[in-house]
Amino acid sequence: MTRLPRFVAKVCLGLLFCLSLAPQQSEAHLAKWGSWEITHRNLMKLFPEAEPNGWRIKRYQYSDSEVKQLEAELGFELYPEDKQPEFFIASDAQGKFLGVAIFIDPRTKPKILDGGILTLEVGIGVNAEGKINRIKVYDYRGNLALAQDAFLNQLRGRELNSNFKMGTGGLVAVSGEPEESQLVGNAAREALLLMKVALGRRDG
């Protein structure tokens, strides 16, 4: 299997900011909301220190070879819309780059709760060092402990080569929610992989 290039956390800021575009709605495995107001509110939960009006959007189109690499690493096929992700670039009031955010629905199969589809929308913020800054779970109707910091903060500071498997390496699943807990861990790892390919660069 072809290995992905090493992730370099220092993103080319000039490229990111010059490619800033207005928000667009899409439907995919990557979680989306129907308005910029909701998206912005959820972004600020990931980087509360960000300048509210300083967010930029970087869109990326993965090549066929990059898609194959990602699918091999993730273990499932990407939805068509997943191949064109949106990354949200955070800066502070002085224009300093803080990190990158993305929203992911890590389910590969729908789950039903009380006759309705149980959504699992996860926001992941990655800081300038390529480590998880914050993770948030939005509007979850299952066990609310899954959306609490007591669980989510276990993933803070982890990077691509870290462990994301619940029950190992200090990660403790929410009681009674082993599958959902692992899906949140999977979303964190997936976010780092997507950013590595789209925003990283090759050394040498």
Q: Which residue has the tokens 């948030």?
A: 136
The SS3 call for residue 91 is: strand
Rounded-to-integer distance, Cα 141 and Cα 123, Å: 16
pTM, rounded to two decimals: 0.80
- pLDDT reported for residue 110: 66
Mean pLDDT of 125-133: 96
> Would you place residue 12 in the very low, low, confident or very high pLDDT band (cuts 50, 70, 90)?
very low
Q: 138 forms bridges with which residues in the sheet?
A: 121
- pLDDT reported for residue 30: 73
| Tens-place pLDDT, residues 39-81 | 999 999 999 999 999 999 999 999 999 999 999 999 988 888 8
Cβ atoms within 10 Å, residue 94: 7
